[in-house]
Amino acid sequence: ESEDLDSDQRARVEQLFAREYPILTAKKRLNAIAKDVVWHFCNRGYKGKGMFIALDKLTAVKMYDLITKHWRKYVEQLEKEISKGKYGDQELLEKGRELKWIKETEICVVVSSEQNEIQKFQKWGLDIEPHREKMNSQDLETRFKDENDPFRFVIVCAMWITGFNVPTLSTLYLDKPLKSHTLMQAIARANRISEGKNNGLIVDYIETYTALLDALAIYGSGGEEGGGTGGEIPEPPVKPKEELIKQLEEALEATATFLQDEVNFDLQELINADGLHKLAAMEKAVNAVYTNDETKRKFQILAREVFKKYKALQPDKVLNQYAPRKNAIDVIYTAIEDNIESADVADIMRKIQNVVDESIENMIAEPSHNEEKIIDLSGLNFDLLEQYFLKTKNKNIAVQSLKDKVEKQLKRMVERNPLTVDYYERYQEIIEEYNRGKDEVVIKETFRKLIELVNSYSKEEADTKREGLTDEQKAIFDILRHGKKLEEKEKNEVKKISIELLNELKKDKLRVERWSEKSVTAAAVFTTVSKTLFETLPYPTYQTDDIDLKTNLVYEHLKHQYFGGGVSIYGEY
């Protein structure tokens, strides 16, 4: 194939592989490789693009036929497994997504054209026409570079090996003898950086690692023969799989050591536990990690490193020996991430999160149109909660569960009404104190202060409801009354102004799409606010300077909370 190799390379290949060619292209060998490629490609962790480098054009088309044959068999087998009902709900969902991805995946051959190629391929019982038609009618290069395009696997023999940059190309299946610069360029295809990609992987069916080291001695530093400096060979851009395994072992050991040394939990206890004992061990592990926010963050970082290294090695069977430790870490991590949708972790997480939920009555307030469900902590049964806290061994979990719910509610409050920021600042002070200490006294004190904080803002929320104000009306009312000591009569007047001003603006001006970006509409909103406040706010409590300030504050609030088109942070109107 003169289009594939230069004259020197061709002569070398003919000399070295004249006797090996029939062996390398034997149908039994290619069939075994095709089956292995399909299994490996479909079971990887990072689902990047794949490239198979075949010996020549004829072999490329042969491999397409064999790979697609085994691809169909793999799909049939997976469909059969799914239909047997052997999977739980979560695993069934994951297998369904996997099947969809495999069925959508498109495999293409990309080789250069030559004269009389149709007849040449026909002599070998092969059909190049459908491949050539696709190569001529579609921009396959652009499609392959698009990470969202279902064209995910390409078979080549010379094209795209050099000077072709696809960051999401993660797996290179190599079945062609390559030398020197061409080999290094080919391997570089899988070495590009992409989000979620830990490394590229070379699956070598032809044993080229020794050739790569030879190439590095020549091209490693200077890019041409003799280009190295001081006779040193640079670090290879591709390393044996054993190095990835070593990195995984180190990540697992670092995580286990952290659990043992810093939060006093033995990971082996969770691995060895079974039945109800596993649930108890899991709760103990989560409680340990929840010692404070810093220990939680550190564990999450270490666990993610384990998952990254583990994923990079999938689907290698060597992972079987590391699965128990990885799975134990995964269970703890999933619980902490509150990923209650995951398989068996669902029941465990419900139990942990319900440490607080079991003591809450009427927790969920009915959502308004197009709003998410709102957690209403004013319904906390504090006596029941305190009884549980005093008797539970897992006090860290109780604190974290309450803390997470308080933080979520406070963030929502501040987002909807910036003047409630004092509550959030107080919450942060409590958590800073909590993170500075690890003993039970600090934990108990944190729990008590959190409950006091909930009591405090729950009382204010109750007062808001009693006054007959919605959250958005209350936000305007708080801006207008902030810094003022109002008599009861004045308070009622300001409350009425807040309601009527907001209703007036929501009728038309705030319904304009992206109103704040349009100078005419923005000016109209500002004028309405200014005119209303000047005419209605009680004098002399509100002086001219006061009204100017309140006008600007109300306008800025409207600009950030009302997006136009009848949509605001509070919902649609």
pLDDT in tens, 29-64: 999 999 999 999 998 888 889 999 999 999 999 999
Helix (H) or strand (E) holding 30: helix 27-42
Average pLDDT of the chain is 78
Q: Specify whether 511 is located in the same domain as 557.
A: yes
Does one domain contain both 254 and 364? Answer: no
Asked if 128 and 189 sit in the same domain, the reply is yes
**Cα–Cα distance for residue pair 280/277, rounded to 1 Å:** 5
The answer to whether residue 392 sits within a structural domain is: yes
Q: How many whole angstroms separate alpha carbon 67 and alpha carbon 444?
A: 62
Bond preceding residue 234 cis, omega within 30 of 0 = no
Contact assessment for residue 198 and residue 308, using Cβ atoms and an 8 Å cutoff: yes
**Token pair belonging to 189:** 């295809």
Residue 353 is assigned to a structural domain of this protein: no
Both 460 and 486 in one domain: the answer is no
Residue 213 maps to a domain: no
Range of the domain at 177: 7-207
129 with 94, same domain: the answer is: yes
What is the structure's pLDDT at 397?
74
Shared domain for 182 and 131, answered yes or no, is yes
Alpha-carbon Rg for the chain in angstroms: 33
Give the pLDDT score at 44: 86
Q: In this predicted model, what pLDDT tens digit does every residue of 220-252 receive, in sequence order?
A: 444 444 444 444 444 554 556 788 899 899 999
Q: Is residue 233 part of a domain?
A: no
Q: Does one domain contain both 201 and 248?
A: no
163 in any annotated domain? yes
Beta-bridge partners for 203: 173
The answer to the question of residue 223 being in a domain is no
Q: Are 368 and 295 members of one domain?
A: no
Which of 461, 525, 538, 551 is closest to 496 using CA atoms?
Answer: 538
Three-state SS for 93? helix
Instruction: Check whether residue 265 and residue 372 sit in a common domain.
Output: no
138 in the same domain as 266: no
CATH number, domain at 43? Answer: 3.40.50.300
Whether 494 maps to a domain, the answer reads: yes
The C-alpha angle 206, 207, 208, rounded to 5 degrees, equals 100
Per-residue pLDDT, 226:
41
**CB-based burial label for 260 (10 Å; 0-12, 13-18, 19+):** middle
In this prediction, residue 343 carries a pLDDT of: 30
- Kindly indicate the confidence band of residue 189, based on its pLDDT and cuts at 50, 70 and 90: low
- Output the pLDDT for position 232: 47
Distance between CA 235 and CA 341 in Å, rounded? 43
Taking 80 as the threshold, does the pLDDT of residue 378 lie above it? no
What gap in Å lies between CA 196 and CA 191, rounded to an integer? Answer: 13
pLDDT tens digits, residue range 454-472? 767 666 666 666 777 888 8
Q: How many domains does the chain have?
A: 4
- Taking the model in full, what pTM does it have? 0.49
Q: With 50 as the cut, is the pLDDT of residue 79 above it?
A: yes
Paired tokens of 555 = 């306008």
Residue 192: band (very low, low, confident or very high) from pLDDT cuts 50, 70, 90: low
Which residues are CB-contacts of 25 (< 8 A; sequence separation ≥ 6)?
55, 58, 59, 62
Same domain? 328 vs 372: no
Is the predicted pLDDT of residue 26 greater than 80, yes or no?
Answer: yes
- Residue that finishes a domain, picked among 442, 466, 490: 466
For residues 245 and 313, is the Cβ–Cβ distance under 8 A? yes
CA distances 477 to 410, 464, 486, 554, Å, are 19, 10, 12, 10
User: Tens of pLDDT along 196-208?
Assistant: 556 678 888 886 5
Looking at the predicted structure, is the pLDDT value of residue 3 above 50?
no
Asked whether residue 217 is domain-assigned, the answer is: no
Same domain, 433 and 485: no
